[in-house]
Amino acid sequence: MFAAVTLMAAPQTFRPGDVWLDNRDRHIQAHGGGIIKLGDTWYWFGEDRGRDNDPERRYVACYSSKDLAHWTFRNQVVRWSDPENLGPHWVLERPKVFYNAKAKKYVMYLHLDDAKYKVARVAVGVSDKVDGDFTFVKSFRPLGQESRDIGQFIDDDGAAYLIFEDRPAKGFHIAKLSDDYLTVEREMSLIKAPLEGGAVVHYQGLYYAVGSALTGWDPNPNKYATAKSLEGPWSEFRDIAPPETRTYGSQSTMLLKVVGSQATTVIFLGDIWRPKTQWDSRYLWMPVEIGDGKLALPAPREWTLDVKTGRSAIVR
């Protein structure tokens, strides 16, 4: 007779900067990505820059996980072929997926551009299933403004926001999506700081916004500001890490809040870009030190997270 075994969720290990293998033993292709949680499962969407992809098309991959460390490849949920005729080297970056519970639809936003980044629009795709396929619906400039890097923020009340960088305004917007999520409806803030890679988290009654400077693929000192309301006023921006480390060679894409039975961990999700070998770009995920209006990204090293308790610990 076998004794009944209760499976305990063990802390899982994260190694920032390493090659991160999926269930097929392939490096995860989810760059400039975003993560949503549905039930007990997280879904990670991002730019799939796999070497075997057709160079005429652009791809978004979707992975799922129950512990944030082990990821199962689900599908290339986008395999689009230049939907707006933007020409060779057209750009699809930073896909973000929102689940619209009312319509039971998955709505993807992404940055759509031409080779010179002059188009500055978002594209919207829709799917009935989380793992695609996503059909191209339309592209537009949110609130009529130029939009390059986008980020996503879902507040504790479930409200969905798009963060988008606006070069002429020298800042970035946080704007609420419409009820059906198919358009961007209401400006919450235009934060007058020239930052991209925008990310927001709501932690202990305060909003923290993180972004990076506009230095292309090169890393720079990412910064944060805080506000009691999404409508501001926002504090001054401060470095999230010693500026000389240039965010330890990474760039922000999201702040992920993991609420467990004992603790809450906020993870900085960053990309370590390798522009000449994009398929080999890496991920820098680290739990941040956060609270009382301060946010700090520790030096990357091995750490663990137990998603059941929400506890994280730095190993060495």
Residue ranges that bind ligand DGJ, judged by CB under 6 A: 32, 93-94, 149, 196-197, 216-217, 251
Q: By C-beta, is 11 or 198 nearer to ligand DGJ?
A: 198
- Please state, as a whole number, how many other Cβ atoms lie within 10 Å of the Cβ of residue 190: 17
- For residue 244, CA distances in Å to 236, 239, 283 come to 20, 10, 19
Q: Are 166 and 147 in contact (CB under 8 A)?
A: yes
Closer residue to ligand DGJ in complex, CB, 149/306: 149
Which one, 29 or 312, has the nearer CB to ligand DGJ?
A: 29
- The least distance separating ligand DGJ from the CB of residue 121, rounded to whole angstroms, comes to 13
Q: How far apart are CA 259 and CA 264, in angstroms?
A: 4
**Residue 20, CA distances (Å) to 60, 136, 307 in order:** 17, 29, 19
- H helix or E strand, kind and range, residue 235: none
**Nearest CB to ligand DGJ, comparing residues 111 and 311:** 111
Give the shortest CB-90-to-ligand DGJ separation in angstroms.
Answer: 13
Tell me which H or E stretch contains 268.
Answer: strand 264-272
How near is the Cβ of 104 to ligand DGJ at its closest, in Å? 30
Chain residue at closest Cβ approach to ligand DGJ: 216
Q: How far is the CB of 197 from ligand DGJ (least distance, A)?
A: 5
Peptide bond into 55 cis (omega under 30): no
CB of 240 to ligand DGJ, least distance (A): 16
- The residue among 121 and 311 lying less far from ligand DGJ, judged by its C-beta, is 121
Specify the DSSP element, H or E, that contains 170.
none
Q: Strand, helix or coil at 230?
A: coil
From the CB of 31, what's the least distance to ligand DGJ, in Å? 8
**Total number of residues shown for the chain:** 316
